[in-house]
Structure 1
Amino acid sequence: MTQPPHHDAVTSLMRQVARDIVLPRFRNLATDDVEEKAPDDLVTIADRESEDALTAGLSMLDPDARVIGEEACAADVSLLDGIDRGQVWIIDPIDGTNNFAAGKSPFGIMIALVEDGVTQAGWILDPVSGRLCHAAIGNGAYVDSRRVVTRPSEGVLPTAAIATYFLGAERQADLKSRADGKFSLVAIPRCAAEQYPRLVLGINDIALFEKTLPWDHAAGALFVSEAGGVVRRPDGTDYRVGDTRRGMIGAASPRLWDDAARILFG
């Protein structure tokens, strides 16, 4: 296995933050440790402390690379300017914060290393199980030290996890009508750090995302692609950091992606 630059240091940093910051706060949050950034969008003290620690650690690895975290961008959206130029570390300090704040899994820590809008390496850590999904461009996808490739789920119909809670009622109804009899709709985990591994591990075949913020998707899209899956915009263009459009389809194979695009958007 060829490791991406800084792999061991990034992995060690993520596990340390999970152990020392995230897990001690899990199911141990006071009322004033949780805030609502926007309707149905929470942030906790653990998100902020995790991002601070990850930012400090990544900054030491490569002083020439910018570090952009979700919570820093929530405070100053201008940090996203030029995210597709040069080398950038992108941090999601706790993905699935609503789950974390409710005291349930899944949630995860996600880091991506991006150069000129193209993700070079990505890491997704499940703090509870310790599972580390990671990939480097051109070098395959791994769960811990085991190389993985996508495989279909075992259902009669392909399983599709469709995030509809950001969509209007008319579009929700349209998607469900289009999927009826063609896909088996399953609940989404409300956590990209779990949804992307599900596309690789034979749990889900298709995932439809509406919001495509970089910290939610840079690492996961690379992981799926390196495992043999496909992550593209509905018009067929590959996902790229810095593209601010909404809507994306992830699939466990090119054929499944083609079917999803035709059925859900055709």
Structure 2
Amino acid sequence: MDALTRSVADLMRQVAAEVIMPRFRNLAAHEVEEKSAGEQVTIADKESEARLNEGLARLLPEAGLIGEEACAADPGLINKLSSGLNWLIDPIDGTSNFASGNPPFGIMIALVDGGETQASWMLDPITGRLCHAALGKGATIDGDRVHARESGAPLPIAGLSLLFVDPDRRQGMIDRAEGKLTMAPIPRCAAEQYPRIVLGQHDIALFERTLAWDHAPGVLFVNEAGGRVARPDGSAYRPDQDRKGMLAASSPAMWDVGAAILYG
């Protein structure tokens, strides 16, 4: 583990211990707000992003800072992701879970250079599990190299996030999956969904909304572990592109199976 990787991990653990976990199941009503329809933000999200910004700025002063909550206040900030070196920060992924006092939730960070993800970190504050990946260098969990594996179930296990899919397309996907996939409950937290693919708990995950801070870390992690994440047409995911739809799978062969079923 190089010095930067270790420093980012240490920062995330510190923020989890000092900011996030003390607020878990301990939020006052006024500390939870609706920032948009169906989207919550808590005081812990804001404080976590501020602390992460401070720490990451010290680690790489030349890199920009693009956080989920900052983008909520200034949507144009995300456009900076296409140029130069930037930290991409999700201070609490799975905020709705966190706000309701339920796991899973996580901290997600990616280092992006010119719109291409170079490194990523995903921390589960409850278990302490740290997933890390570096472009061209593989993926690790808690420092140990990992390789994505299929579940081995009779039917592929699929976690399909269909909330943002057009209703007509949604029903079509459900119909096509019938008898071909085992539908699993989704964790409503990308920081948990992507590790499930690598760990052999789920074979397939489908996402419609692909916000950069939600997906850049996990996409790199799965791809570097030997799985495959790609757009429905098979093209690569880039966090600086505002597009819909993505399929993750525990292997390239499983991706082909899932794409044939879900996208017809």
| TM-score after normalising by structure 1 | 0.97
Could you tell me whether the CA contact under 8 Å between 1:230 and 1:253 is conserved in 2?
Answer: yes
| Aligned position for 1:160 | 158
Q: Residues of 2 paired with 1:261 and 1:84: CA distance?
A: 28
| Aligned position for 1:213 | 211
Could you tell me whether the CA contact under 8 Å between 1:4 and 1:136 is conserved in 2?
Answer: no
Q: Match for 1:50 among 40, 48, 51?
A: 48
Q: What secondary structure sits across from 2:121 in the alignment? A: strand
Q: Residues of 2 paired with 1:199 and 1:88: CA distance?
A: 27
| Aligned position for 1:69 | 67
Cα drift, residue 5 of structure 1: 6.0
| Aligned position for 2:261 | 263
Q: What secondary structure sits across from 1:83 in the alignment? A: helix
Share of identical aligned residues, percent? Answer: 56
Q: What secondary structure sits across from 2:80 in the alignment? A: coil
TM-superposition CA deviations, 1:137-168 (whole Å, max 9, x none)? 11111110211101111321001111111123
Instruction: Confirm whether residue 188 of structure 1 aligns to residue 183 of structure 2.
Output: no
Say which is worse superposed, 106-115 or 164-173, in terms of deviation: 164-173
Q: What secondary structure sits across from 1:202 in the alignment? A: coil
Question: Which stretches in structure 2 are left out of the alignment for 5+ residues?
Answer: none
Q: Residues of 2 paired with 1:174 and 1:9: CA distance?
A: 46
- Letter paired with 2:223: S
- Letter paired with 2:89: I
Q: Residues of 2 paired with 1:180 and 1:223: CA distance?
A: 29
Q: Match for 2:20 among 19, 22, 43?
A: 22
Cα drift, residue 169 of structure 1: 2.6
CA separation of 1:224/1:4 partners in 2, compared to 1, >3 Å: closer, same or farther? farther
- Letter paired with 2:86: V
- Letter paired with 1:148: V
Q: Residues of 1 paired with 2:159 and 2:194: CA distance?
A: 11
- Letter paired with 1:214: A
Could you tell me whether the CA contact under 8 Å between 1:4 and 1:121 is conserved in 2?
Answer: no
Q: Residues of 1 paired with 2:3 and 2:194: CA distance?
A: 22
| Aligned position for 1:135 | 133
Cα drift, residue 96 of structure 1: 0.1
CA separation of 1:5/1:232 partners in 2, compared to 1, >3 Å: closer, same or farther? farther
Instruction: Confirm whether residue 171 of structure 1 aligns to residue 169 of structure 2.
Output: yes
TM-superposition CA deviations, 1:210-257 (whole Å, max 9, x none)? 111110011100100010001100011111111101110011100111
| Aligned position for 2:241 | 243
Q: Residues of 2 paired with 1:22 and 1:105: CA distance?
A: 12
| Aligned position for 1:92 | 90
Q: Residues of 2 paired with 1:4 and 1:202: CA distance?
A: 27
Cα drift, residue 4 of structure 1: 5.3
Q: Residues of 2 paired with 1:165 and 1:61: CA distance?
A: 37
Q: Residues of 2 paired with 1:144 and 1:58: CA distance?
A: 20
Query: Map of 1:224-239 to 2, 5 A cutoff?
Result: 224-239=222-237
Instruction: Confirm whether residue 109 of structure 1 aligns to residue 107 of structure 2.
Output: yes
TM-superposition CA deviations, 1:54-110 (whole Å, max 9, x none)? 001101111111010000000000111131211110000000000000001000000
Question: Which stretches in structure 1 are left out of the alignment for 5+ residues?
Answer: none
Q: What secondary structure sits across from 2:206 in the alignment? A: strand
CA separation of 1:64/1:120 partners in 2, compared to 1, >3 Å: closer, same or farther? same
Moved over 3 A (4+): none
Q: Residues of 1 paired with 2:98 and 2:133: CA distance?
A: 25
